[in-house]
Structure 1
Amino acid sequence: MTPDEVLTHFRETDALLEGHFLLSSGLHSDRYLQCAKVLMHPERAASLCAALAAKVKDGLGEDSVDYVVAPAMGGVIVGYEMARQLGVPGMFTERVNGVFEFRRGFELPKGARVIMSEDIVTTGKSSIECIKVINAAGGNVVGATCLIDRSNGTADVGVPLFSLMQLEVKTYDPDNLPTHLQGTEAIKPGSRNLK
């Protein structure tokens, strides 16, 4: 799947938004990718994740993954579909008092080869937090995935990161907003509460 084909999925579902957005990292942006709008269509989710699973198999090997783990909330649908495409069990971490942990009886066998699967990576902060939980539970994170790497390849999550495309979407410090965002209200479309 080409980057243009990936963006077509986002455009056709009105998931590529323009405006003033407050990201979960605390940074601001004038563009936002709302993966939930794309993933609400099962056929699109299957198509995107099939292409991403193929990249994982090409990069790590055909039988290189035992489990897929995703951070809730944004990664849950992608994680489920990646697990289905790779033919392995999938589970997710969720925040309790602001910190990711496994709940709902989810456990990893010691040494299980795990792919951490996310919808969008911007700074990599949520991915890194999720990877730490997987490692602490005895898993061996062999790679990470995201539909779109918004960092344009600059985010380092500590393991190979596979994405369908890299995209440069500028982000801004709240104290250094460009003129076109100054004086406009920021919308917070993400799933993480800021403290």
Structure 2
Amino acid sequence: MNNTILSMKYQEVRNTDFVNTANKLSEDEIRYIITSWGGYWKHSGNPEEPHPLLTSGGHGGEFFDLSFVAQFPIPVAILAKQMAFKLIGSVKESDWVVGPSYGANPFVYRLGAALGCKHAVTEKMPDNSQSWTRFLIRDSERVLMTEDVTTTGASVLKTKAGIIAGNAGTVEFFPLIAAFVNRSGKEEIDGHRIIALLRVDKPKQWKPEECELCRLGSKVIPKFKSYLASQSLPVN
């Protein structure tokens, strides 16, 4: 099955059951599945197609957002199954899969289900910290920190701090972070090795006065995520 994914049309990928495959997928195949569900966009070269104004003020030619994928149960289940392949044998039924609110929620649930262990998310507070108040982690239980996308590592560190603060005893963490996508450029964070399905390099971008897409005639627009949300799922 693996050899056919990259030759399939996006619509075919969306209509194919990869959830129950026993095959481990490559990073290229993971990227292709994410793209087919709208999680990765790259400018086509068509001047009629706009491109994003980044928060830095630069212009971008690529846009990556796993929240588009998280809307659909099938691709989340596929990615969780693939992550579970990397962790089976390490995580016990009594252990926890925990991630930060809100982006990681569906991935934490599906990964916990795939591993057959407990799962929960910390709660985002007004000061942007992450709080742990609903459950107790026992001394015999371990915590696997999980993120949908690791960019700076700040969210996972806030999650760790919230879990420690919310439990009276000493919490044991796995020396791992299960990051579905790693955009950080790092191999580890705070002593936790990052296990990722996909590593993403920094997207191509330009200073406004040097933007190749503007020279092409493409219009730059702010709030590019809203633009993508208004579009249909990709076709090829």
Q: 2:113 aligns with which of 78, 84, 106?
A: 84
- Whichever residue aligns with residue 16 of structure 1, its letter is Y
TM-score, normalized by length of structure 1?
0.77
Q: 1:67 aligns with which of 71, 80, 96?
A: 96
Give the secondary structure class of the aligned counterpart of 1:163. strand
Q: Report how many residues are paired.
A: 182
The change in CA–CA distance for 1:171 and 1:107 in structure 2 (over 3 A counts) is farther
2:52 and 2:59 in contact (8 A); partners too: yes
Give me the CA root mean square deviation.
3.1
Give the secondary structure class of the aligned counterpart of 1:11. helix
Q: 1:102 aligns with which of 113, 126, 132?
A: 132
**What's the CA shift string for 1:3-38, capped at 9, x where partnerless?**
111111121112113543657xx7978333221222
The change in CA–CA distance for 1:154 and 1:171 in structure 2 (over 3 A counts) is farther
User: In 1, distance between residues paired with 2:103 and 2:186?
Assistant: 20
Q: 1:141 aligns with which of 163, 169, 173?
A: 173
Match of 1:49 in 2: 80
TM-score, normalized by length of structure 2?
0.65
User: In 2, distance between residues paired with 1:157 and 1:133?
Assistant: 15
**Identity, % of aligned pairs?**
20
Match of 1:164 in 2: 197
User: In 2, distance between residues paired with 1:134 and 1:124?
Assistant: 16
User: Shift in Å at residue 107 of structure 1?
Assistant: 2.7
1:122 and 1:155 in contact (8 A); partners too: no
Segments of 5+ residues of structure 1 without an aligned counterpart are 190-195
